[in-house]
Amino acid sequence: MWDSLSVMTLKQLFKSYPYALDFFSSLPNLQQREEYPIAEYFATLEEDTLQDLGIGRQDFLDQFLSFMIQMEKLKEDKMKVDSITIIGGNDKYGKSEDIELTIHAGEIVCIVGPTGSGKSRLLADIEWVAQKDTPTNRKILINGQLPDLKCRFSVEHKLVAQLSQNMNFIMDLTVEEFVSMHAESRMLENIEEVTSHIIVKANELAGEEFAPDTPVTSLSGGQSRALMIADTAYLSSSPIVLIDEIENAGIDRQKALRLLIDKEKIVLMATHDPILALMGDKRIVIKNGGISKVIVTTEKERSNLATLTKIDQKMLAIREVLRSGGSIDQISMDFEE
């Protein structure tokens, strides 16, 4: 690896491997030396700088190479997930679920059931890649096989991104800074372009647009959810997305799901919304803490979805009129228009 890196300038290195900047960022006069070949940069580091770091020249070079190798290995180790399989356990009364369900990339599976029935527990089992070691005794397979331990316990190899009902930011960053930081951590090129694209997509989902320089702590609940869905679609390396009720988030729900599906994510969503439930390829019905049955969405249900969507669009239009201080006296209530 050194042979290819040594002839690069620092500027070329940071463009090709953005994460490399983290290794050098604390060193003095970095910007003035960006045109130096890397080999020359290490060879001409001042002794005072090395003494301040408490390290010898060769050891410092070895640390740099080790850092680059480890970071590249992280990129290569990302597992491609084509499917997950849920092998049933039992409900809260001990009754066997007697089910084996495989979900493929690009599928939407909705989880439905009364409040408190156990929808979130199923999402948690999938997030933890349960191996009969949770209260439900469920077992989760990845690509039809037992998962590697790193899928369960390693942050770097986390398979699941979860979007919860409440998303609150506490960091003092603008939207642009937040997305850029995530893009940089994913070792992407063209960070500015990617960041701008994600903010545009988030604003397509949000009920009310926000600017790149908006502090993330100032975002509304719907804006926060819109930003995290766009960020998850474009930046998250997690192939599985778990969504816990987005119907009350103030975002375009159907666009949000299409965005995730276009990125070949496996999407599982707990919902009470009939439109979202019928958008899924299948619905998992939860009762008494267990999987009661799995229903494949039929063509008849798809046709009913079209009618429900018209009603929903009408309701959204009415909501916007009322929110802006208008009157709905002249709006037709004929939902079959």
Please give the structure tokens belonging to residue 187: 């070792």
Could you read off the pLDDT of 212-257 as tens digits, one per residue? 999 988 888 888 888 988 988 888 777 888 887 665 556 777 788 8
Are 59 and 115 contained in the same domain? Answer: no
Give the model's confidence band at 165: pLDDT under 50 very low, under 70 low, under 90 confident, else very high.
Answer: low
Please give the structure tokens belonging to residue 232: 């998850």
Judge whether 312 lies within some domain: no
Judge whether 240 lies within some domain: yes
Judge whether 321 lies within some domain: no
Judge whether 331 lies within some domain: no
Query: 236 is in which domain, residue-wise?
Result: 83-297
Are 16 and 125 contained in the same domain? Answer: no
Are 265 and 131 contained in the same domain? Answer: yes
CATH number at residue 113: 3.40.50.300
> Based on the structure, what is the number of domains in the chain?
2
Q: Which of 56, 76, 96 is the last residue of a domain?
A: 76
Are 203 and 228 contained in the same domain? Answer: yes
Of residues 221 and 135, which shows the higher confidence score?
135
Are 132 and 173 contained in the same domain? Answer: yes
Are 90 and 34 contained in the same domain? Answer: no
Are 157 and 268 contained in the same domain? Answer: yes
Judge whether 91 lies within some domain: yes
Are 90 and 134 contained in the same domain? Answer: yes
Q: Which of 28, 56, 76 is the last residue of a domain?
A: 76
Question: Does the CA dihedral 214-218-220-222 come out positive or negative?
Answer: positive
* Most distant CA atoms of the chain, gap in Å: 80
pTM above 0.85, yes or no: no
What is the per-residue pLDDT for 206?
Answer: 85
Share of the chain above pLDDT 70, in %: 88
Are 30 and 144 contained in the same domain? Answer: no
Bridge partners of 215, per DSSP, are 174
Could you read off the pLDDT of 19-59 as tens digits, one per residue? 787 787 777 777 778 888 888 888 888 888 888 888 888 88
Q: Which of 44, 76, 108 is the last residue of a domain?
A: 76
Are 248 and 107 contained in the same domain? Answer: yes
Least confident of 163-167, 284-288, 294-298: 163-167
Judge whether 267 lies within some domain: yes
Least confident of 99-103, 147-151, 269-273, 295-299: 147-151
Are 12 and 96 contained in the same domain? Answer: no
Judge whether 28 lies within some domain: yes
Other beta carbons less than 10 A from residue 311's beta carbon:
13
Q: Write out the DSSP string of 202-269.
A: HHHHBSS---TTSBGGG--HHHHHHHHHHHHHHT---SEEEEE--TTSSB-HHHHHHHHHHTT-EEEE
Are 65 and 146 contained in the same domain? Answer: no
Judge whether 316 lies within some domain: no
